[in-house]
Structure 1
């Protein structure tokens, strides 16, 4: 009985853990005396094993058994044993969270792999094999573009052509993009099957959220984009496969055992007697559709990590566009976010908001996106031109959803303002993001008196590249002079004054990068590292967040 992919260690609490696997056949999967049956999607088989009864602040080696046969660790593995490290009172006041986004897989093409450079997460995995377990991170946060469904490797394109050869639908589908669930399955197996990546995912609790390339470049940029894509004969198949595969491969493990067991969709999948694709197809339709100004499924979630909290925000699928009331999140989901921030806030030392898209861009670039949104709302040729520019230049971050940007800013300012001299409320509020293919740390200047520090921390890409022509644009967009010019233009276009200002502390950093947010009590820092030519990780920036 074969283990095709995984194990992937996902949500870990004080006494519980979630472990995700993909198996070759229907089976019972067992880990540390706990078991779960697989469920089937179009002939593929998956399980999420809820491991219970662990000890707080413990480290436990684990094996995976399928129908009683040990399948992990693999025979003669060169990697250390996979472990589950729980949190508890002893670890409540410290956290080491590694984060990044945009990881393109190895291609097997020597020239292309040289262009991409060393994979920063791969290098990080190699480092961990040489460190004691107690020096490993407490969490790995992947902030989007875990797979590239629309930018396939040369081998993947050839395999895709072979799969579609002779099929009646082959001419109706893009030749170099995945469309079906089976094609997504092949993509995930290729991307997560790299030995170093497979091992690190088996031993670090991993939180995930998607970005556009997990579905398609510029996904949900605007109502016009959605209308254009919905007119394509293959798009309905694509969005169903993309959202269903995301739910299976990424979303399920983001939930705790208690949250997952209470999930109606998961219960229906587990009790199905055969292929669950009809239900997942319906699930994807609900997730994609707008009903009364909200989406039918919430992919945002929360992890409590001692006296730190991570709230991961879905800034792609949660967008409201079709109704004409353009928002990054619907009102119901934004209210959920506000409730998660507010609950027990005074007992937190550090609050982290994960969003694949940066909240704070370089100021000039943010103003340009706001100006573009205002222009695209106009009728006639000016509106059509602004829309064309929006799609061409990827102007669809938080600043391009001004209503939502202001609401998020007010939420963050309110959370930071709860900090007081007697150390109630968080000492730091950090937004962790990716997407923009350069890395930086920016500090927001919050009005009023507060001891809390507010930051935008961006790490992108983990393994990809930036065209040379783009680099000077990012550098210029951090220029104070450029910011003054674009702010005047934004006000002239109708933008209100912004409630905060922000400045760059480090960056822009170009190249493959991995970052770590480290906390100890109420102190925090962020560290950016990049692979050297030899493949070792080299520190390129270390920024205190509480000074």
Structure 2
């Protein structure tokens, strides 16, 4: 049968003169990519659950240029589409010596599918708006970012569209068990990616700008891994094993696979196994189950690491898994198990100018909420089934502040890096072995359905500006009654009151203070982080009713 392009191409990583391109096809096929200025690659699709995918490594691209590319399935030309009204997609590489060249990345989280698919009216999609602006000239380096960083809730497994709900009801009537309006199986998950990534403008954007992604809770279910009691309750549901296996398996195929560099793809043992068999369904299903085995304070080994890191010019980006690998043991909760934390600390050392940490959950929350979460963790540790645990689960008290050991460890790491000097993590070791602190440290986050910029105060000895940059949602909205509460949570009066609550439970004062510089902004938004030599700034842009971007705030991140 003739293969057609179902989703893609999705341009994922560009490293040196290589790039990776991901596709989903309707039938098995040989996928071939050719760039106009030189560079090509091909790969055979692999098959899982009756679906067909390929990730192609394109090699030999010209450095420092944006070149158009084409894609074939077997001998059929399928991209660019002949009837497309959009400019041709390009692969842009950085110069061979790019240490002095600026770096820019756009970021955000929480994107529901397009309005016609969701069945409810949402403000315009910020990624749609960004794509339309870039279409004016996708080769213009002032318009085109180096990377799209998507920080979670790329799909909503537990909050489906009208179209998907109709599909699920037919499935449930036919004997496929599970919640009426939530996906469970791999095949059901594919419908979410299909309706989200085939949005025309977003499809073009993902084909033109490299992207990396990390999950948050809605890729699996709201409040995923909030606590040990949450896990116990979910594990008792008859459909949960299939849900978690399918959710993690589909995330590996659609999102995580593209996070790997060309060299990492070559070395990945799971990809090697999957591409060596005609049908890898059982392999991927077993993988999905195995990587959900819970961490604990005693056993922190993980069979697979979702966190990853990459360098662009003089910028280092480290993306952290805030969900799957949590240690949920009361009294010893951790965002990352010990081996993965050690890996993160290693990545935080090195030769770079700017450190960017991608964390789906904000490190620095509105202060009042931070103190409530710190209080709640302390109270919940006393009883895994008491009132505090019920409050934790009911009000989503599960950010870094609710994993205080990790919050303090992350804060201390930033302090040590920002101080520089002998004995601190080394950056740009220069003549005579001198140490220099990085120019900036930025934490990119989403999740909380409002956007803001906050600066951390880690003490006078810290020379590096440290910021929390939160951008959420890309395409969603916060319920109107919650907006005043969110604003109130930033007030000094509310912070003082909630700090008193935390102090009454024996919670020490946080080892950092922070000040909001911009926001809160509640509309759909996308943010741009720009680095140039030793300077940095962030631009937050919202969407108008007509679907155009407008500046909300522009904040310099260096003094």
Decide whether the 8 Å contact of 1:223 with 1:324 is kept in 2: no
Decide whether the 8 Å contact of 2:119 with 2:162 is kept in 1: no
Match among 365, 368, 378 for residue 369 of structure 2: 365
Work out whether 1:140 is the aligned partner of 2:148: yes
Show the counterpart of 2:105: 97
Work out whether 1:427 is the aligned partner of 2:429: no
Decide whether the 8 Å contact of 2:100 with 2:532 is kept in 1: no
Work out whether 1:60 is the aligned partner of 2:72: no
Decide whether the 8 Å contact of 2:107 with 2:148 is kept in 1: yes
Match among 133, 136, 159 for residue 130 of structure 1: 136
Deviation at 1:110, TM superposition (A): 9.2
Work out whether 1:276 is the aligned partner of 2:288: no
Work out whether 1:398 is the aligned partner of 2:410: no
Gaps of 5+ in 2: 35-39, 422-426
Decide whether the 8 Å contact of 2:334 with 2:403 is kept in 1: yes
Show the counterpart of 1:527: 539
Decide whether the 8 Å contact of 1:290 with 1:322 is kept in 2: no
Match among 227, 237, 245 for residue 222 of structure 1: 227
Decide whether the 8 Å contact of 1:294 with 1:318 is kept in 2: no
Decide whether the 8 Å contact of 1:107 with 1:154 is kept in 2: no
Deviation at 1:493, TM superposition (A): 1.0
Decide whether the 8 Å contact of 2:442 with 2:469 is kept in 1: yes
Decide whether the 8 Å contact of 2:98 with 2:313 is kept in 1: no
Deviation at 1:350, TM superposition (A): 1.0
Instruction: Classify the secondary structure of the residue corresponding to 1:31.
Output: strand
Decide which moves more: 155-164 or 219-228: 155-164
Decide whether the 8 Å contact of 1:58 with 1:86 is kept in 2: yes
Deviation at 1:109, TM superposition (A): 6.6
Gaps of 5+ in 1: none
Q: Please list the CA deviations of residues 230-253 of structure 1 after superposition, one character each: whole Å capped at 9, or x if unmatched.
A: 000000000000000000000011
Instruction: Classify the secondary structure of the residue corresponding to 2:382.
Output: coil
Match among 151, 154, 167 for residue 159 of structure 2: 151
Instruction: Classify the secondary structure of the residue corresponding to 1:497.
Output: coil
Show the counterpart of 1:250: 255
Deviation at 1:477, TM superposition (A): 1.0
For 1:191 and 1:225, locate their aligned partners in 2 and report how far apart those are by CA, in whole Å.
29
For 2:138 and 2:317, locate their aligned partners in 1 and report how far apart those are by CA, in whole Å.
25
For 1:482 and 1:323, locate their aligned partners in 2 and report how far apart those are by CA, in whole Å.
27
Decide whether the 8 Å contact of 1:14 with 1:87 is kept in 2: yes
Instruction: Classify the secondary structure of the residue corresponding to 2:206.
Output: helix
Instruction: Classify the secondary structure of the residue corresponding to 2:310.
Output: strand
Decide whether the 8 Å contact of 2:367 with 2:489 is kept in 1: yes
Decide whether the 8 Å contact of 1:359 with 1:397 is kept in 2: yes
Q: Please list the CA deviations of residues 412-442 of structure 1 after superposition, one character each: whole Å capped at 9, or x if unmatched.
A: 1112222899993311100000000000000
Show the counterpart of 1:377: 381
Q: Please list the CA deviations of residues 290-310 of structure 1 after superposition, one character each: whole Å capped at 9, or x if unmatched.
A: 362233210000110010011
Matches for 1:382-461 after TM superposition, within 5 Å? 384-418=386-420, 424-461=436-473
Q: Please list the CA deviations of residues 362-415 of structure 1 after superposition, one character each: whole Å capped at 9, or x if unmatched.
A: 1110110010111111138xx521111111111100100001111111111112
Instruction: With the length of structure 2 as denominator, give the TM-score of the two structures.
Output: 0.93
Count of residue pairs brought into register by the alignment: 536
Instruction: Classify the secondary structure of the residue corresponding to 1:224.
Output: helix
Instruction: Classify the secondary structure of the residue corresponding to 1:541.
Output: strand
Deviation at 1:221, TM superposition (A): 0.5
Matches for 1:457-496 after TM superposition, within 5 Å? 457-496=469-508
Show the counterpart of 2:524: 512
For 1:108 and 1:367, locate their aligned partners in 2 and report how far apart those are by CA, in whole Å.
40
Instruction: Classify the secondary structure of the residue corresponding to 1:49.
Output: strand
Instruction: Classify the secondary structure of the residue corresponding to 1:371.
Output: helix
For 1:318 and 1:336, locate their aligned partners in 2 and report how far apart those are by CA, in whole Å.
13
Greater share of residues in helix = 1
For 2:189 and 2:331, locate their aligned partners in 1 and report how far apart those are by CA, in whole Å.
31
Q: Please list the CA deviations of residues 82-109 of structure 1 after superposition, one character each: whole Å capped at 9, or x if unmatched.
A: 1111123246531111000000012427
Decide whether the 8 Å contact of 1:92 with 1:305 is kept in 2: no
Show the counterpart of 1:19: 21
For 1:195 and 1:367, locate their aligned partners in 2 and report how far apart those are by CA, in whole Å.
43
Deviation at 1:323, TM superposition (A): 8.3
Work out whether 1:198 is the aligned partner of 2:203: yes
Q: Please list the CA deviations of residues 204-252 of structure 1 after superposition, one character each: whole Å capped at 9, or x if unmatched.
A: 1101000000110001110010000000000000000000000000001
Deviation at 1:322, TM superposition (A): 5.5
- Change in Cα spacing, 1:368 to 1:297, as seen in structure 2 (3 Å) is same
Decide whether the 8 Å contact of 1:97 with 1:516 is kept in 2: yes
For 2:167 and 2:369, locate their aligned partners in 1 and report how far apart those are by CA, in whole Å.
39
